[in-house]
Amino acid sequence: MVLTSKTAVTLLGASKAKTHDIDEALSRAPFLVAADGGAATALAMGLTPQAVIGDFDSLPKSVRDALPPDILFPVAEQESTDFEKSLRMIDAPLILAVGFTGRRLDHELAVYNALARNPDKRIIIVGRQDIVFLAPTRLSLDLPEDSRLSLFPMGAVTGTSSGLAWPIDGLKFAPDGRIGTSNRVNGPVELEFDTPAMLAIMPRVALDEAMRALTSG
């Protein structure tokens, strides 16, 4: 089963997300999908997701009973997280993932691992202060001068850049080697990577620009 949306999707996780975080995502990505226990957060806000995906081990029975049965998509296997299960079942131009940070660190790390293993999907993790996404092999960004732009490799990756205070040309990045924390923008940013293995981390105010960049083709 694949849930297809022509518009961006808001994927709501079980970590605590504030109402304005969810409202901000829904104003940009109105198709709401909950990953397992994220459905409880949705119902508490008076929202009914268009789908709930997961193994349902963190979905209270009272919440499950309150949901229309036809929006429940149980996935029984335990080899993947509910975030990964959701990614497999969503076909959309962009996913804004809210409620996946700031709680359990092992779960949050699993989310970033899933980003690296799904380079064909465009996903932005929306946290309280930052956004994170897997950069495609070519990325153009128009950000205010002096904006923070951190690069964190999820594998061995090299690239070139323009518009950064500290260029990355000729550098070899790796999770256990060189990383690119706290770079700064000094002009229109153009990035190229030899493989899609680099996480881009920016302040949350850059969400709209990140969405534009990831969907511009």
Q: pTM here?
A: 0.95
pLDDT in tens, 68-101: 999 999 888 778 899 999 999 999 999 999 999 9
pLDDT at 211 over 80: yes
At residue 1, the pLDDT reads 61
Mean pLDDT of the chain: 94
pLDDT of amino acid 217: 66
Higher pLDDT: 16 or 10? It is: 10
Query: pLDDT band at residue 17, thresholds of 50, 70 and 90?
Result: confident
Higher pLDDT, 151 or 79: 151
Q: Nearest Cα to 150, choosing from 191, 117, 96?
A: 191
Other CB atoms within 10 A of residue 7 CB: 12
Nearest CA to 133 among 194, 202, 71?
202
pLDDT tens across 30-40, in order? 999 999 999 99
Which of 13-22, 47-56, 172-181 has the least mean pLDDT?
Answer: 13-22
Q: Which 8-state DSSP code applies to residue 178? A: B
Domains in the chain, CATH or no CATH each: 3-128 (3.40.50.10240), 138-215 (2.60.120.320)
